[in-house]
């Protein structure tokens, strides 16, 4: 299967690894708070379970992309899209894959959930930058820091595609690894704080809010199709994603367990774990690394939104200067939302319940089962089921289980809990709060 590519495959495998880490990056700082909500044992089990589900749905998305491209090639239609006169420069996106396989309604649903998901993820990166930077220099409040990082984020409109993030492909690895091990080492060195308690979960609302944040942690591969489209061997994407996820466990579990062990239930009022760690050069280094990493992550999340917006308003194949100017409204919207809702932590759970659930788990499962529901589609599939799980019925059954689980515990229970928590934060702090949890 000849799939057109746009760059060095080695770089894009690195970008896939960074893609996993960019999602986990800012969440590393909220996972101790999340474990205080879920309790240690349930928190560990949820991390393992949702990571497995995420790796599975990454495999589904990878297969759907390959199937979409293969069918288009069989029909000799890749060069005949009337809306794309320059097909060589056209970047295939998530919603186009879903629409090409299950129809226009699927494309519209996928586009909606993916756009809202990526928009929310971009918002969270600016909130995280402001929250982290405050612990480096508290002479400015968090709202002022949000304004500063909003201005910085405008620079991403200058970078045309993922290829321009080559220099940063390993930066997320360095930043998240250093920060996670610094947090663990400091927590162990400082030891348990006087009077520490570990009572979680205290109530269903807190538990489901925390559980949904964990679901959100491992659900950031909605932008993966754009990366697959640029790979020389897109079939290897799911393997690279799985290996990256395994590495992530060496960061999330030791870091989360040690900080929760040391600080316990006090973390329920500290969504950013940096706030409970002592001021030191190491903490300052971690802040600088995480802020830089989150700036790169912002670019990776918002770039697919740029593509969608450009296609919508007709600038996707326009001259560079026109394309750059057309992207500015997207950044301004993200900037406004980050300033209005600075609730670092609860916003993650809200996104997990209403966007990550659909774009990363529900839509791929439905699309896969619909694409391969007939015997003919199975016999002509571009990829057979995994060797260790060789039956189609088994694959479709796993998809159905994930679909039901995520809808019940992610959308319904997680949505209820997250909405109540965000409403509580708005009542307590208000919108446009100048310094959330300072």
What is the full per-residue pLDDT of the chain (438 aa) written as tens digits? 444 444 444 444 444 454 555 556 678 888 999 999 999 999 999 999 998 998 899 899 989 988 988 887 767 554 544 444 555 566 788 888 999 899 999 999 988 988 888 888 889 889 989 988 998 888 898 889 999 998 998 988 887 766 666 666 677 778 888 999 999 999 999 999 999 999 988 899 999 999 998 998 887 676 677 777 666 667 677 777 778 778 888 888 999 999 999 999 999 988 889 989 999 999 999 999 988 888 888 888 888 889 889 988 988 888 888 988 999 999 999 999 999 888 877 888 888 888 889 988 999 999 999 999 999 999 888 888 888 887 899 999 999 999 999 999 999 999 999 999 888 888 888 788 887 777
pLDDT value, residue 9: 47
Q: How far apart are CA 339 and CA 331, in angstroms?
A: 12
Do the beta carbons of residue 222 and residue 110 sit within 8 Å? no
What is the C-alpha separation between 13 and 8, in angstroms, rounded?
9
The whole-number pLDDT of residue 361 equals 93
The angle formed by the CA atoms of residues 391, 246 and 346, to the nearest 5 degrees, is 105
In sequence order, which ranges of 191-318 are alpha helices (DSSP H)?
204-217, 224-229, 237-263, 281-313
Question: Residue 84: what pLDDT?
Answer: 47
The whole-number pLDDT of residue 2 equals: 40
In this structure, what token pair is assigned to residue 323? 């394309």
Look at the alpha carbons of 13, 15, 19, 25 in this order and tell me if their dihedral is positive or negative. positive
pLDDT at 118 (0 to 100): 84
Torsion of CA 204, 418, 364, 369, to 10 degrees: 40
One DSSP character per residue, 139-163 reads TS-HHHHHHHHHHHHGGGGG--SGG
CB atoms within 10 A of CB 309: 18
Q: Which residue has the tokens 């694409």?
A: 371
Please give the pLDDT value at position 223. 67
| Token pair listed for 234 | 């897109």
Q: How far apart are CA 20 and CA 31, in angstroms?
A: 16
Q: Maximum Cα–Cα distance for the chain, whole Å?
A: 69
pLDDT recorded at residue 165:
64
Residues listed for the chain: 438
d(CA 171, CA 168): 5
- Structure letter (DSSP) for residue 202: -
Residues 6 or more apart from 130 whose CB is under 8 A from it? 142, 143, 145, 146, 148, 149, 338, 342
Q: At what angle do helices 281-313 and 104-134 cross, to 10 degrees?
A: 150
> What is the reported pLDDT for 169?
62
Please report the pLDDT score of residue 21 as a whole number. 55
Q: How far apart are CA 422 and CA 182, in angstroms?
A: 30
């Amino acid at each position: 299967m000849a799939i057109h590519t746009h760059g060095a495959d080695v770089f894009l495998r690195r970008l896939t690894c960074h893609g996993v880490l960019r999602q986990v990056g800012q969440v590393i700082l909220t996972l101790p708070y999340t474990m205080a909500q879920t309790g240690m044992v349930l928190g560990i089990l949820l991390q393992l379970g949702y990571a497995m589900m995420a790796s599975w749905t990454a495999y589904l998305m990878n297969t759907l992309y390959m199937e979409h491209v293969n069918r288009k090639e069989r029909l000799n239609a890749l060069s005949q899209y009337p809306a794309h006169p320059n097909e060589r420069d056209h970047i295939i996106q998530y919603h186009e894959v879903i629409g090409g396989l299950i129809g226009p309604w699927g494309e519209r649903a996928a586009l909606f959930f993916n756009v809202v998901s990526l928009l929310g993820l971009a918002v969270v990166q600016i909130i995280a930058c402001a929250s982290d930077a405050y612990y480096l220099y508290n002479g400015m409040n968090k709202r002022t820091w949000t304004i500063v990082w909003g201005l910085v984020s405008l620079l991403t409109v200058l970078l045309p595609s993922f290829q321009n993030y080559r220099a940063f492909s390993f930066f997320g690895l360095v930043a998240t690894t250093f920060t996670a091990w610094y947090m663990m080492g400091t927590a162990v060195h400082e030891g348990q704080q006087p009077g520490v308690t570990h009572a979680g979960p205290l109530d269903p609302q807190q538990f489901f809010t925390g559980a949904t944040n964990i679901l959100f942690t491992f659900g950031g591969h909605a932008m993966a199709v754009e990366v697959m489209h640029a790979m020389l061997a897109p079939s290897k994407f799911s393997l690279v994603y799985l290996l990256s996820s395994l590495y992530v466990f060496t960061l999330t579990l030791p870091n989360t367990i040690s900080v929760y062990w040391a600080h316990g239930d006090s973390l329920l009022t500290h969504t950013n774990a940096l706030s409970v760690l002592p001021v030191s050069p190491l903490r300052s280094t971690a802040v600088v690394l995480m802020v830089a990493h989150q700036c790169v992550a912002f670019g990776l999340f918002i770039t697919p939104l740029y593509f969608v917006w450009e296609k919508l308003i007709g600038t996707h194949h326009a001259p560079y200067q026109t394309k750059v100017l057309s992207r500015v409204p997207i950044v301004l919207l993200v900037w406004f939302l980050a300033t209005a809702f600075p609730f670092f932590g609860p916003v993650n759970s809200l996104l997990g319940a209403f966007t990550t659930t659909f774009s990363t788990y529900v839509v791929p499962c439905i699309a896969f089962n619909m694409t391969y529901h007939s015997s003919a589609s199975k016999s002509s599939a571009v990829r057979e089921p995994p060797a260790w799980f060789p039956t189609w019925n088994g694959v479709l059954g796993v998809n159905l289980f994930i679909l039901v689980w995520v809808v019940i515990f992610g959308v319904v229970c997680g949505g209820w809990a997250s909405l109540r928590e965000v409403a509580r934060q708005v009542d307590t702090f208000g919108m446009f709060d100048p310094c959330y949890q300072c």
